[in-house]
Structure 1
Amino acid sequence: MENLRGRGRPFTGLGLQAAVTAMGLDPASDLPRLWAVLTVESRGFGFQPDRRPKLLFERHVFSRETDRRFDKRAPDLSNSEAGGYIGGAAEYERLDRAVALLADAGQAPEAALRSASWGLGQVMGFNHETAGFPSAAAMVAAILDEEDEHLMAMAGFVRAHKLGPKLKAGDWEAVAKTYNGKNFAEHGYHIKLRQAFEKFSSGVSRDLPIRRAQAALLYLGFGKTMGDVDGVLGDNTRRAIRAWRLHAGLPDSDRLDGGDFDLLMAAAGL
């Protein structure tokens, strides 16, 4: 679905603070809890390199949403059992095929959109009402351009499921069950959440301008050099900065000094 490519703007400090507050968390002390969830759910960034929101298509949800009518025809897309994941941009191929199945049956794509988890917080499409939208299509349209919208959709989900107190208490089993279902323990989601929280509580700084620069580098094709968009100025990010500077005809350096940051933002359209 090429029409789902937007601007891909990383979240802002104001957007982050508004979402954390809306979740019932303390912006001064609870950010590691939010970062833990984002890291486990989406590796901490809501867009793919092509600026489409990250998604994961859930075939068991699609089967349920369509009353099993496509189970025999396309069991890799419609199945009572979860699975069939490909990951990355290939998940859009699965979504496209599901939309095509619906179109052949004279139906709108809503059931397919409801069957995927979306963006930074990986909110399921069927949770659109708790995220504050009248339909999955409306939710997806809202998150195409700004990660701030990803955060607010997630905040709606957290509020609706009363996850704020559980996040504050570090009840990772409850958080994992709400996010990933009753079989969360099979995949160790609660363990991953706890480990991520411990990591983010260790004092490693998350710098939003660096995170923004990393997003720009990702969009410009330097993702393999850089690694994750995580707001940490590590060796991988420095290598990506150096590669971009050489590509842009700038002096050799692994820093973004002076107007270099603005040049990078302009090059990426951010």
Structure 2
Amino acid sequence: MITKEQLQNVADKLGIDLAMLQAVTKIEARSSGFKNGLPVILFERHIFYRQLKKNGFNVEHLAKTYPDLINQVAGGYLGGARENYRLNMAKQIDPQSAIESTSWGLFQIMGFHWQLLGYESAQQFEQYMTESEEMQLDAFYRFISHKTNCKLLQAMKDKDFQVFAKLYNGPAYKKNSYDTKLKEAYESYATTTK
């Protein structure tokens, strides 16, 4: 479990309000990076399709054989621990592509960012994401503070919930009201931390 002090330390390093970081933590993974001892994950079959193709696999053949795991269209989500089951099935096809096709932990950082974030391999990234919420927080810090994500960091500093939600979750953020949920969570934390 991440402490308020750990969150404050990262918020200070990023130059953002603690309440903003708390809001992102709450909305992205419902305040928990683990459930029943397993990391909270979401396996993305459309990303698996892309990563397998990038890594030289015959994705057309594989997609016909495993359409629930490999597909050009997002979906097929089972939720909860069953996402870990989907990941394990995908690892039997290609461990690296499977890890890269999964969003991990408190902040749902995609595995394909492992190199950008300074991990030695996708497997090392997975190891850290399954170790602790503190390691998941470190991955988020690495992600937000990376120079390629300066607009995300600026949106957090400006409390621009719409821009943050769009950049962090993609164009479907409106369908899930991520911006509204973030704003409400921020306001709740901001009033309790004063």
Place the TM-score, normalised by the shorter chain, in its bin: 0.7 to 0.9
**Counterpart of 1:217?**
none
Q: Partners in 2 of 1:203 and 1:11 — Cα distance?
A: 18
Task: Name the CA distance, whole Å, in 2 between partners of 1:204 and 1:165.
Answer: 22
Residue aligning to 2:90 = 98
Deviations 1:170-192 (A, max 9, x none): 11122112221123222222222
Equivalent residue, structure 2, for 1:154: 140
* 1:87 maps to 2:79: yes
Q: What SS does the corresponding residue of 1:131 show, helix, strand or coil? A: coil
Structure 2: how far apart are the matches of 1:11 and 1:175? 22
- 1:52 shift after superposition: 1.9
Q: CA–CA distance in 1 between the matches of 2:131 and 2:120?
A: 19
Q: CA deviation at 1:13?
A: 4.8
Is 1:54 the equivalent of 2:54? no
**9, 13, 19: which one aligns with 2:10:** 19
Equivalent pair of 1:77/1:98 in contact (CA under 8 Å): yes
TM-score using structure 1 length: 0.63
Query: Are the aligned partners of 1:131 and 1:155 in contact in 2 as well (CA < 8 Å)?
Result: no
Q: Is the contact between residue 132 and residue 153 of structure 1 (CA under 8 Å) also seen in structure 2?
A: no
1:36 aligns with 2:20: no
What do you get for the CA RMSD once the two structures are aligned?
Answer: 1.9
Corresponding pairs, count: 185
Q: What is the distance in 2 between the residues matched to 1:136 and 1:180? A: 21
Structure 1 match to 2:178: 189
1:34 corresponds to which letter in structure 2?
L
Give the drift of 1:150: 1.0
Native 8 Å contact 1:126 1:136 kept in 2: yes
Flag the structure with more relative contact order, 1 or 2, with Cα contacts below 8 A and sequence separation at least 6. 2
Unaligned runs of 5+ in 1: 1-9, 103-108, 206-270
Q: How does 1:110-259 map to 2 (within 5 A)?
A: 110-160=96-146, 161-162=149-150, 163-203=152-192
> Structure 2 unaligned runs (5+)?
54-58
How many angstroms does 1:76 deviate by?
1.3
User: Cα distance 1:39–1:14, how it changes in 2: closer, same or farther (>3 A)?
Assistant: closer
Who wins on radius of gyration, i.e. which is larger?
1
Q: Which one has a larger percent helix, Structure 1 or Structure 2? A: 2
Residues 9-47 of structure 1: CA distance to partner in whole angstroms, max 9, x if unpaired?
x2245532332233332xxxx111111111111011111
Q: State the partner residue of 2:65.
A: 73
**Which deviates the most, 133-142 or 16-25?**
16-25
